């Protein structure tokens, strides 16, 4: 907002939610904003966790951690806490199948079956609950295998001389593949020449 290459919490609220922090001063539970307030509190915890230098503003790399917390180990605790708060209704530190399915539309049989299958996939030891390790695997998946596959795919498609390396010319000639790839954060990780 002020061109300092940082995002403060107030700027984030204004830009993404259309109001400033003062708009909430008079709200109470009776104003039917408790759910939204809860979301904002979770967002604020995530914002604070991403703010590594604790200056109250997120630099670009900190903002990326805020947006993609699963990719940054220092963000994992806050994501686990959020998931348990949202799903662990009886606060016992685990998520039962019923808790996992609680927000699923019971009238949508196809969606219900899909979510039951997902629960079974995450419940590695088949004990009917998701323990901390299984919750972590659900909430914070390891994307390394997918990233390696995507990188190998980009090299295979772009390495015209088949030397196992990519030259700048090969990348430029295949720039559409790189700009459309999650491996380059849709082009964000590609070097840019400044004029």
Q: How does pLDDT run along the chain (195 residues), one tens digit per residue?
A: 577 889 888 888 777 766 666 665 655 555 546 767 778 889 999 999 999 999 999 999 999 999 989 889 999 999 999 999 999 999 999 999 999 999 898 889 999 999 999 999 999 999 999 999 999 999 988 777 777 888 888 899 899 999 989 899 998 898 888 776 655 655 566 555 544
Q: What is the Cβ-side half-sphere exposure of residue 16, based on CA atoms within 13 angstroms?
A: 12
Residue 96 host element (H or E): strand 95-96
Whether the Cβ atoms of residue 158 and residue 166 lie closer than 8 Å to each other:
yes
In angstroms, how far is the first alpha carbon of the chain from the final one? 24
Q: What token pair was written down for 114? A: 């899909």
pLDDT of residue 10: 82
pLDDT of residue 24: 58
Q: Find residue 179's DSSP bridge partners.
A: none
Q: What token pair was written down for 164? A: 């196992």
* CA 50/CA 37 separation, integer angstroms: 20
Which position has the token pair 């685990």? 94
* CA 49/CA 65 separation, integer angstroms: 9
pLDDT of residue 192: 58
**Nearest in space to 173 (alpha carbons), one of 186, 188, 192, 154:** 154
pLDDT of residue 18: 66
pLDDT of residue 190: 56
Residue 98 host element (H or E): helix 97-101
Whether the Cβ atoms of residue 42 and residue 85 lie closer than 8 Å to each other:
yes
Q: How far is CA 52 from the centre of its chain?
A: 17
User: pTM for the full model?
Assistant: 0.61
Q: What is the Cβ-side half-sphere exposure of residue 122, based on CA atoms within 13 angstroms?
A: 26
**Would you report the helix, strand and coil content of the chain in percent, each value rounded to 5?**
60, 5, 35
Which position has the token pair 């604020």? 44
pLDDT of residue 194: 47
In Å, how far are 60, 80, 148, 159 from 186, measured between CA atoms?
16, 27, 16, 19
pLDDT of residue 113: 95
């Amino acid at each position: 907002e002020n061109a300092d290459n940082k995002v403060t919490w107030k700027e984030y609220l204004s830009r993404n939610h259309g109001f400033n922090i003062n708009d909430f001063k008079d709200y109470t539970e009776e104003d039917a904003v408790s759910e939204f307030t809860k979301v904002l509190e979770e967002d604020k915890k995530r914002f604070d966790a991403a703010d590594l230098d604790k200056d109250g503003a997120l630099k670009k790399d900190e903002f990326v951690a805020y947006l993609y917390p699963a990719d940054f180990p220092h963000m994992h605790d806050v994501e686990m806490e959020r998931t348990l708060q949202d799903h662990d209704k009886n606060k016992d530190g685990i998520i039962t199948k019923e808790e996992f399915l609680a927000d699923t539309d019971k009238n949508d049989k196809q969606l219900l079956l899909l979510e039951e299958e997902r629960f079974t996939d995450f419940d590695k030891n088949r004990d009917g609950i998701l323990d901390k390790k299984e919750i972590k695997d659900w909430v914070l998946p390891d994307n390394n295998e997918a990233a390696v596959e995507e990188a190998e795919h980009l090299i295979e498609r772009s390495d015209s001389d088949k030397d196992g390396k990519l030259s700048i010319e090969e990348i430029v000639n295949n720039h559409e593949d790189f700009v459309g790839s999650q491996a380059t954060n849709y082009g964000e990780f590609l070097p840019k020449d400044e004029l």
